[in-house]
Structure 1
Amino acid sequence: MRTHARQQRFKKQEKLARLFGALSHPARLRIIEILAARKSCICGEIVELMPLSQSTVSQHLKELRDAGIIKGRIDGIRTCYCLDVRGLRKYKDALHAFFESLPTNLIDECCE
């Protein structure tokens, strides 16, 4: 019972930690920018736009997909990717709620 209560207590934080983990690499941020700029699914061109090997790009795409930031659709021998707008909206709302829950009377001069 105690473990279940602990899991419930950290559910919001785990969701945000998953987001921050997925965003913690510059290549993943660049992939998000590429997908956002295209405003459509991209099939295969991501590797050509990145200075990384195909296997490295694939690993970054997997991290973003597992976190719910992008979606992938198989098209023949390729997978087409686009931003997961619904997933991004959930993260945006969760991040906003997290910062709104913090006290607003923080001291600016602390630790200076």
Structure 2
Amino acid sequence: MIDNNHSVQLPSASQAAVQDIELRAKIFAALSDPTRLRIVEMLASCEEMSGSEIANYLGISLALFCHHSKTLAEAGLIQIRKEGQTKYNSLKRELLFDCFASFTPKQLETTTVENNSRSN
């Protein structure tokens, strides 16, 4: 039980750590939709694809694909390159790998050690 007369001291997180957590939360929120997850899986298997290729393959409208690609781009997961009238989408693999690597035991251990050394 928390005593209202006393404040609870939590270890302070560095600004960079907070921003990293917020970025990862945005990435996982973008991946929480099944259609966006399918788009990422498709892009993981090739270098790049046009929006119409992806929409046709998934059986969705180009407008719906554009909505999902905007969310993925805002999360930093995909890069969109325009060539003429066609927009090509590619996966930012390194960002995705880094995001998932944050859950590996070594990364968790490093984060815990860093947080403990900051609070001492």
- Whether these two folds match at TM > 0.5 is yes
Q: Aligned AA for 1:29?
A: L
Query: Out of 57, 79, 95, which is 1:49 matched to?
Result: 57
Alpha-carbon distance in structure 2 between the residues aligned to 1:45 and 1:61: 13
Aligned position for 2:35: 27
2:102 matches 1:94: yes
- Secondary structure of the residue aligned to 1:20 is helix
Higher Cα radius of gyration: 2
Label 1:98 to 1:58 Cα distance change in 2 as closer, same or farther (>3 A).
farther
- Give the share of equivalent positions with the same residue, in percent: 29
Q: Pick closer, same or farther for the CA change 1:7–1:99 going to 2, 3 Å.
A: closer
TM-score relative to the length of structure 2: 0.67
Which amino acid in the other structure matches residue 90 of structure 1? D
Shift of the alpha carbon at 1:87?
Answer: 1.9
Is 2:67 aligned against 1:82? no
Deviation at 1:99, TM superposition (A): 7.2
Is contact 1:36-1:83 (8 Å) kept? Answer: yes
Can you give the 5+ residue segments of structure 2 that lack an aligned partner in the other structure? 1-11, 113-120
The structure 1 residue matched to 2:20, chosen from 12, 15, 38, is 12
1:61-85 CA deviation, whole Å, 9 max, x = no partner?
A: 1111111211111011011011112
> Is the partner of 1:89 in helix, strand or coil?
helix
Structure 1: gaps of 5 or more residues = 104-112
- Residue 16 of structure 1 contacts residue 95 of structure 1 at CA under 8 Å; is this kept in 2? no
What is the rounded CA distance, in whole Å, between the counterparts of 2:72 and 2:59 in structure 1?
18
RMSD: 2.7
State the TM-score, normalized to the length of structure 1: 0.71
Q: Are 1:16 and 1:94, in contact at CA under 8 Å, matched by a contact in 2?
A: no
Structure 1's 77 and 84: CA in aligned 2 closer, same or farther, altered over 3 A? same
